[in-house]
Each structure stands twice: as structure tokens, then as C-alpha cells.
Amino acid sequence: MKSLFDRPAWSLAIWGGLITGLAYQPWHLGFLAWIGLIPLLHIWLNHDATENARLGYLFGMTHNMVAFYWIGFNSGASFWVVLLSLIAAVLYLGIFWAAAGWVFGRVKSNGNGLVLFPFLIVSMEWIRSFGALGFPWGNLVLTQVDYLPMIQIMEVTGSYGVTLWIVLLNVILYLLFQNYNLNKKLGLFYLILLLGIWFFGNSRVNDFTESSSQMSVGILQPNLDPNTKWDYDKKKEIIAYMDSLHSVAIALDPDIILFPETALPAYLKLNHRVRKMIQTKVDSSGIPVLTGTIDRIKSSEGQKHYFNSSMFLTPNHKYVLYNKLHLVPFAEYIPLSGKFPSLMNLNFGQGNFTQGSEYTVFEWKNVKFSNLICYESSMPNIVREFIQKGAEIITIQTNDGWLGESAGPYQHYDVARIRAIENRVPIIRSANTGISGLILANGRSTHEQKLGETAVFKVNVPIGNASSFYSRYGDIFAMICFLIFFLLGPFPCLKKRL
């Protein structure tokens, strides 16, 4: 193994990025994350801050290119726009690894670099989640969804607890590679710790298998090509098709019916004819519908504002709208365009949507639930807020059809499983082209529908006391890790200078 570390540093950075990136693919290779950071750790321990930043950037670009290559497969924009989006995302996300490398190079002189490394990576992921360009999707936990018992700790620690044990495992294995005899007791101790996490997680998985209270949900996966949905010549055909799927769902006799994101090529609030078509069936069947739609309003100045929305239609009642809270940067809006409207004149093929402001909680048959639209499912704080406002179930409406059969739709589904465990809440997912299904509060997935297939099916959703330590207190674990890193690393360095 030592001969492996004799390779040039740039080669180790690329190999580490490649191995770690492969762990994110839907090929059940999550175990690669347990060793993918070893080359990076070796590099950072043996180079100065400047070189660490360069090599960290190379690792980060490679890692993110392999893990999230599907950003360049978006069929909803031109080839060059999509390619530039992928390059920009890779360059941006690589900055965090470069910054972490630079910081590590500055503080490792205290002789505790091996201890600092796990807390540094946790801190980096936590900081990367902030702001409009936050990207919790990229957290290492996404590589471990196949190993459900090992990620149940998220109900307390959020995804960052999983990151900590993954990075610690990389450190322990690195030490064993360097000198097995000297470090085998440490390795044995960590193995016992991992077994403890597994036993705890396994018991928690079994705690969420049954519930005396249930709600049945009919789910539509229409499998429509998103690139042609809004073609004028096909609108009537698509509306009739969705109406037929609605009838199939009614025949299943669920409590509610869930349509995917922007399910019909119509602005339902403004298009009374199409809305009446849905409402008539809702009234006659007594089964409400939650459907995705686009909404448009005019401001007092006459400006038009567009929203990516969900509409909940109940029997003989007015509809309730939810407007998407977290928009996809450069796809649904240009960051800072709210303060500088002229930015909306830039044309990257994006939509110019307006961000919603209310955490809407729907209610039917005394069950409260909230809805996430597409990319929102990657934002843990949004789910936490819905749970705190009383949601007992989370629904997700999405359209991953833009990404074809790439890794994107699979990762997106696994992101929802992470949110379920964090908040101990069942999640129902309706995706235009898949993957639709039911996710239990332990992260176990049932009724998964394959990509690229049409499906109408019913799931029985167990209703319990949705919430967890993480739901109530958020990223306290990540904050503690950041504090530990600061006290062991930057603080002593600052103290020396003073």
C-alpha cells in the first residue's frame, strides 16, 4: 500500500476523487466512500497550505464531475448551456475542497491533523449547505443509503453524523495501511464502535415497520416527455391522458390522489376549464387531488410573477396553493434577481420564477401533510420547518424526466429517503417519469416504480408521531463538530500568534 502513496500527488488527488465520485452512482458502490478520502488525507498531511488547496481543488473537481455528471444531461436547455452549467457547478463545488485543504495545511502544524480531518470535512459540508447555492445533495451520506442501519443516527445528528463515521473510517484505514501492528488496537476499537452504530440502527429500522393509523394515497407516474408537454398541438391530448389516469386512480379508492410536478400543461388557477375538469371528479368521487401547476399573478405595478406551485383541490371547497420555497439557481431563477431585476434579462434557458414565502400545511381527514417540489427535497431545513408546523406526512412532486436515465433520478429518490430518516416521517413521491414510491420513516422504500414507465398505484401510509431530535434542534451536531475543529485547529494557531 505504501507504494500506492509513492504516486505523484496530482495522481492521488484524481484517483481519490474518482473513487469517491463512483460511490454516488446507483451501482451499490457506497463502500468506496470508506476509502476514497485516504489519498486526499495522505496528500494534505504531506503538503503545505497552498499545495493542499490546489490538490484539494483537483480532488473536488474530479469527485463532483463523476458524482454529478448528470447535471450535463438536462434535456431542457441547449447543449452549450447545459455543458456550461456542469462546468460551473464542478468549478464552484471544487472551491470548498480547495478551501478545506488550505485551512488544513495552516492548522495541521499542531500535530493533530488526523484528528482534525473528520471534523474539517463535516464542517465543510455544513458550510456548503448555506445560502441560495447551498448543496446538501452532495453530502457523503448519499453514498450510504444501501446500508440503512448505519444511517439511522441521522434522527439525532442529521446527515453529518454519517459523514463523521465515514471520514473516521478513512482515517483508521489509513493508519492501518501505514502501520498495522501499531494501530490495530485503534482499528479494533473503531470496529466495535461501528458495530454499535449498526446494532442501534438495526433496532431503529424495526421500530418503524407498523402503525395502527394509515392514510391511503393514489400516486400517478404519467411518464410524459417534459420537452413536449407544453407543445400547443399536444396540450389537449396530454390533458385527456392525465384525465384518464385520474380516473384509474379514483378506481383504487384512495384517501387522496397525488399528481407530479406541473402535471398538466395549464395554469390551473387561470384555466377554469381544466381546473373544473379536475374539480368535477374530485367532487363526484369525494377524493381530493394534490397536483403540481404553474401559477401567475400580477403585482400592483402590473408586473407578472410566476410560481412553481402545488394546488390542493378538495370536494366542494376552494383550492389551496403552495408556492415553491427554494428555487433551483440558474434553472428556475437567477440569484439576486429579486434585488436586481435586470438580471432576469439574462437568458440561460432558465425560468424566471418567484420564490414562495409560506410553509403551507394541508389537511384532510384530520391528517396534516406538506409538499416539497422537486429540488426542495434536498434541503433538510425546509422539511424540518414543515414538521415543526405539524406535518405528519411529506409528499414530493417532481419531474426528473429532464435527466433521462442518468444517476440524477436515482440520487434524487435517495435524497428523499435521507429526509425521511432525519425527521422520522413517511414520504410519498410522485415523479413524472419516475422514481415514484413510498418511503417509510426508517428510510425503507416500497412500491418503487421504474424509470420511464407509466404507473398508477396506491400506497398505505403509516401515520405516527413524525419528528425527531433533528427535527426539533437541527444541525447542532454539525455545529459541535465545527466547534471541535476550531478549538483543536484554528484557535491554537491564533493563540500562538497572539
Give me the pLDDT at residue 316, please.
86
Neighbours of 479 (CB within 10 A): 14
Give me the pLDDT at residue 317, please.
85
Give me the pLDDT at residue 353, please.
81
Neighbours of 405 (CB within 10 A): 15
Q: 218 has which bridge partners?
A: 257, 458
Give me the pLDDT at residue 79, please.
74
What the block records as the C-alpha cell of 273 is: 376549464
| Cα Rg of the chain, angstroms | 24
Expressed in percent and rounded to 5, the helix, strand and coil fractions of the chain are: 55, 15, 35
What the block records as the C-alpha cell of 92 is: 464552484
Sheet containing 320-323: give its strands across: 320-323, 304-313, 289-298, 256-258, 214-221, 455-462
CA–CA dist 237, 422 (Å, integer): 41
Give me the pLDDT at residue 219, please.
97
pTM score of the predicted model: 0.93
CA–CA dist 96, 53 (Å, integer): 9
Q: 370 has which bridge partners?
A: 394
**Residue 438's closest CA among 470, 403, 395?**
395
pLDDT digits (tens), the chain, 498 positions: 556 777 899 999 999 999 999 999 999 999 999 999 999 999 999 999 999 999 999 999 999 999 999 988 877 767 777 888 889 999 999 999 999 999 999 887 666 789 999 999 999 999 999 988 899 999 999 999 999 999 999 999 999 999 999 999 999 999 998 888 888 888 899 999 999 999 999 999 988 766 668 899 999 999 998 888 888 888 899 999 999 999 999 999 999 999 999 989 999 999 999 999 999 999 999 999 999 999 988 877 778 888 999 999 999 888 999 999 988 887 776 766 566 665 566 666 556 788 888 999 999 999 999 999 999 999 999 999 999 999 999 999 999 888 888 999 999 999 999 999 999 999 999 999 989 999 999 999 999 999 999 999 999 999 988 889 999 999 999 999 999 999 887 766 666 665
Q: What single-letter amino acid sits at 98?
A: A
Sheet containing 362-364: give its strands across: 362-364, 367-373, 393-398, 427-431, 437-439, 445-446
